[in-house]
Amino acid sequence: MDHHFISWIARNNDFVDLGGQRQLNPQGPTLQFHEHFFRPGNYSDHLLLYSSPDQKKDAVQLADEIIERFGHKVVPTLLELKDVIDVNAIRSRVETWLQQYADHELTLYFSPGTSAMQLAWYLVHLQGVLRTHLVQTRAAKYSESGKPEVLTIKVERTSTPVTAILREQQLHLASSGPENQSSDYFIGDALRPIYERARKVAQTDKVTVLIRGESGTGKEHLARYVHEQSGRAGKPFLPINCSALTDSTLESRLFGYCKGAFTGAEKNTKGLFEEAHGGTLFLDEIGDISVALQLTLLRVMQSGEIQPMGGNPRTVDVRVIAATNTALEERCRAGQFRWDLFYRLAVAELELPALRDRPRADREQLLDWMTAFKSRQLRHEPLRLAANTRRQLLDYYFPGNVRELESVMEHLLVFSEPGATVELADLPTRIKASTVAGDSSSLLLEDAIRQHVCRVLAHCGGIKRRAATLLGVEERTVRKYYLLSEFNPPSSPQKKTVRADS
């Protein structure tokens, strides 16, 4: 098994200025390590990292000197960092890069580098995923023996690093109910495992993410969470709804255009890929883009290059997170979505459940949290729900998921008097007339069909064309049941009987 020695170049200590000239420092940490400790460590090679292209000359010079003096194998390696004091970005970068040596022994030289670089080594080692060792050196003038010393940094390693523990505490606070005053989003027990998976995905920078879930389940919030937990936090997070734009408009928004590229292009305009450089681009409703634009997007994701309309190719560094409320595999089988793009997007998949599929206890906590949160947000006295009102809200199907619940709470706050209790009659008509999804007392086939169409239509985010495709019927059939039900489960059996006989 190979055993690699890995370190950053110490530009301020591996070199000295003598007579106005920059020269190698014979007492520098890298040369000293090779002189006293490299051979006893039985290392296969030394991967000498430098963080920007302008350091290449120094790295090559130092490597050549080591090879000439000691005969050790040294490989100068560019591991570019955009900010050498951003510990999250550095950690994400080095963790991703080290994965190629997952089956090897790795000794990380702790001493050279900025404090953020050193802390990144420590966090990587602490996680205990790779076969890493941490060492640092003590100069001869500071040692009792009068000789340079190498010290192994021994720490208790854990598969749950400190950062994960802190995030777990944050998630617990976010799920603690209406008493939590600081969070603007509820993460209950049903979503916590999903957010934990998202945190793990965030740590691997180059992995694309596909988020699945019905409309209104919180896909953009989850995407933003991945961004904020990654090394790209602090850089742009730019969302775009792909289904809301035509092909040509979407292409110009994504890739930009140059002046004169088309009628009305009066100036050079950056696209979202360029604006998100260093950050994350969230492509919502990715399943709605055309096959032609899918091919363009695939090329961008493979090459890291975009070509603005009427311009020359440009390199971008962007993490792509996509989301869909449709079954992309079915669209692929129907020839409406490219399999190769699907595989490129679905490296890591996260799926958010519909609100109606979350445990009742979780929905109760969400209702309490939303009631308190919206009351504070709209500066309204705390909203009080009557027992039957609360029960009806918990039983309602909520095809619009959390987004619809938020809308209902705002509706109640707008129309309720301060201090009054919200009664069943105060609810929107569609909720008052509804029964528990899937719990109709009617035995009529017509009612069962209507209920199933409602369920599929909700799964498709209310888009009738998609629902018709999944049901294997014409769109006008879906429209018929949509108009009859308005997305609600069936009303009373008596009314249905009259309609069925008419």
Q: What is the pLDDT of residues 140-177, one digit of tens each?
A: 888 888 888 898 888 765 544 444 444 444 444 444 44
pLDDT at position 180 over 50: no
pLDDT at position 433 over 80: no
Q: How far is CA 85 from CA 82, 98, 234, 298, in A?
A: 9, 19, 13, 33
Specify the pLDDT at position 492: 37
Q: What is the pLDDT of residues 372-416, one digit of tens each?
A: 888 888 888 888 999 999 999 998 888 889 999 999 999 998 888
Residues 6+ apart with CB under 8 A from 329: 342
pLDDT at position 199 over 80: yes
Specify the pLDDT at position 434: 61
Report residue 268 as tokens. 């050079």
Specify the pLDDT at position 192: 92
Residues 231 and 319 sit within 8 Å (Cβ to Cβ)? no
Specify the pLDDT at position 172: 47
Specify the pLDDT at position 114: 87
Q: Say which residue the tokens 């769109």 belong to.
A: 475
The chain-wide mean pLDDT, for the chain, equals: 84
Q: What is the pLDDT of residues 46-90, one digit of tens each?
A: 999 999 999 999 999 999 999 999 999 999 999 998 888 888 788
Q: How far is CA 320 from CA 75, 79, 205, 208, 280, in A?
A: 32, 21, 10, 6, 6
Decide the pairing of beta strands 421-422 and 21-24. Answer: unpaired
Specify the pLDDT at position 89: 82
* Strand residue runs (E) in 327-382: 348-351
How confident is residue 354, by pLDDT bands cut at 50, 70 and 90? very high
For the chain, give percent helix, strand, coil, nearest 5. 45, 15, 40
Cα separation, 201 vs 239, in Å, equals 19
How confident is residue 282, by pLDDT bands cut at 50, 70 and 90? very high
pLDDT at position 107 over 90: yes
Q: For 284-311, what is the mean pLDDT? A: 91
pLDDT at position 28 over 60: yes
pLDDT at position 435 over 80: no
pLDDT at position 45 over 70: yes
Specify the pLDDT at position 443: 65
Q: What is the pLDDT of residues 458-475, one digit of tens each?
A: 777 678 888 888 888 988
Q: Which residue has the higher pLDDT, 164 or 271?
A: 271
